[in-house]
Amino acid sequence: MSLVKNFVTVGGATLSSRLLGFARDVFMANMLGSGPIADAFFVAFRLPNLFRRLFAEGAFSAAFVPLFGRALADGGKPAARKLAEDILSIFLLSLTVVTIIAELAAPWLVGILAPGFIKEPEKFAAAETMTRIMFPYLACMSLTAMAAGMLQSFGRFAVAAFAPSLLNIVLVAALAMIWWQNWAGTPQAAYTLSWAVFISGFAQLVAVGGSLVFIGFPVSLTRPGYGDNVKRFVNLGIPGVISGGITQINIVVGTIIASMQASAVSWLYFADRIYQLPLGVIGVAIGVVLLPDLTRRVRTDTPENVFHTQNRALEFAMALTMPATVALIAIAHTIMQVLFQRGAFTAADTTATANALIAFSVGLPAFVAIKVFQPSFYAREDTKTPTVQGGISVAVNVVASLALFPFIGHVGIAAATSLAAWVNALMLVAVLIKRGHFVVDSLLVRRLVLLGVASLAMGGALVLGDRFLADRLASRHELEAGGALLALCLGGMLVYGLAAMLTGAVDVKRYAKAVLKR
């Protein structure tokens, strides 16, 4: 059960980063609101984040970790270092070229991602400038992802998991300066945040790269060459870029369409930030921990033990995801109201973002399931199958977004993203079962049913608690409203915990023993 312990490490670090991110987003909503300058910043910020998750996190989680893990197992540190240095040299060269092209092509990138901005020259120009400021963040975060993949292969998860907190720390410091200088709602606020993103990329790279040196695994720069290591990485990495970043591609599709509606980009951003909390803490963390574990088991363990690991990983992920899904749907409006409704963020913004959050939340179990199923393909060095399925899911997202947007606006975009996630998850598990790479056991089925019952019981308690605390939740005193929301959430967690234990949905003793095991 080291999988659970490592998940707690990564999930705990991610949770601290996301909570800090909440503070950042609450502050950001107050300082930027949802007007033109906010739309320009979020579009510009989306570009380097998209490329980072496609070319860095997607490719490395799909290709680099299995290759590095195999080299480490077969040839020890010398072989692993040789592979890392070969890939680093060509990767750094590629990043430099991509960054230069992006700096020159910023107007075209913004035009593709936000065609609705073309009719507003000032908004378009602001997004273009901020894109140029923030794009070097891609190179830093790509190298950070590579260093993180090496650390994870050595079983060192903590530093890589805590590194994203540096982005939030730097952004909160920038927001404090914006408040101090009274720049709220001005272009200066957005430009200050853009430079903060730029700085945070270097901070994360230093933190994670320094950890490799600390554990005695420094990696040197060598002359770029297209050897066997690089060829194998490219063959796995190109499909991995697509399959590992399907969620991001779907979000970008939504951003393109949302740019046609005033403030829709900002509404989707804030809704995305809320549902990304459980997705990041649960889905991303379980994917990060499961991939190296499955890579090792597929090569050395029995099929039965591999199936057991997959079943327990899905069970553990759903034990956290199902109640999160029900909670976000049950009290979506209250969450948005308490967290964001102040300053430039109006009551109308609260309603719009809450509706989008509900639509996103419907797909949350599927988003997390994808993170559980994809490592089963990557561990076997198969990145092509998830790529084909991901392409189908993108097509579903585009068609559904275009079909729903004329009728329900930005909410249709969120709903289409969730639909695409469910299509993707179902295709992944269907292929795994067909190939004999995943066998569902009866314990998983029973516990998923019981987890659903416990989650619904919690949802009912949240609805009743929301009505009971309505006056306090709507208070203009932030501490009172925040305290009421915290009490509501803790009460829901208590109800879920009791229901899960009484029904036997969760084996508390087993998980506690796994977490505390040295």
* Inter-helix orientation angle 478-503/303-330, to 10°: 140
Cα separation, 348 vs 285, in Å, equals 34
d(CA 510, CA 375): 24
- Digitized pLDDT (tens) for each residue of the chain, 518 residues in all: 456 666 666 667 667 777 777 777 777 777 776 677 888 888 888 777 666 665 555 556 667 777 887 788 778 888 889 988 888 888 889 889 989 998 999 999 888 878 878 888 888 898 899 999 998 988 888 888 888 888 877 877 778 778 878 888 898 899 889 889 888 878 888 899 999 999 998 999 999 989 988 888 888 888 887 778 788 777 776 676 666 556 666 667 777 888 888 888 889 988 988 888 888 778 767 776 776 778 778 777 788 989 998 998 999 899 999 999 999 999 999 999 998 898 778 999 999 999 999 999 999 999 999 989 988 988 887 878 888 888 899 889 989 999 999 999 999 999 999 999 999 999 999 999 999 999 999 999 999 999 999 999 999 999 999 999 999 999 988 889 999 999 999 999 999 999 999 988 887 666 666 555 54
Report the sign of the C-alpha dihedral through residues 440, 442, 445, 447, in that order. negative
**Tokens 């591999």 label which residue?**
306
CB distance 275 to 360 below 8 Å: yes
Please list, in sequence order, all residues whose beta carbon lies within 8 angstroms of the beta carbon of residue 309, skipping any fewer than 6 positions away: 3, 290, 293, 294, 297
Kindly report the three-state secondary structure assignment for every residue of 204-238. HHHHHHHHHHHCCCCCCCCCCCCCHHHHHHHHHHH
Are 258 and 413 spatial neighbours (Cβ–Cβ below 8 Å)?
yes
Our measurement of the distance from residue 462's CA atom to the centroid of its chain's CA atoms, rounded to an integer in Å, reads 26
Structure tokens at 237: 């990495």
Q: How far apart are CA 76 and CA 138, in angstroms?
A: 30
Cβ atoms 48, 193 nearer than 8 A: no
* Helix, strand, coil shares, percent, the chain, to 5: 85, 0, 15
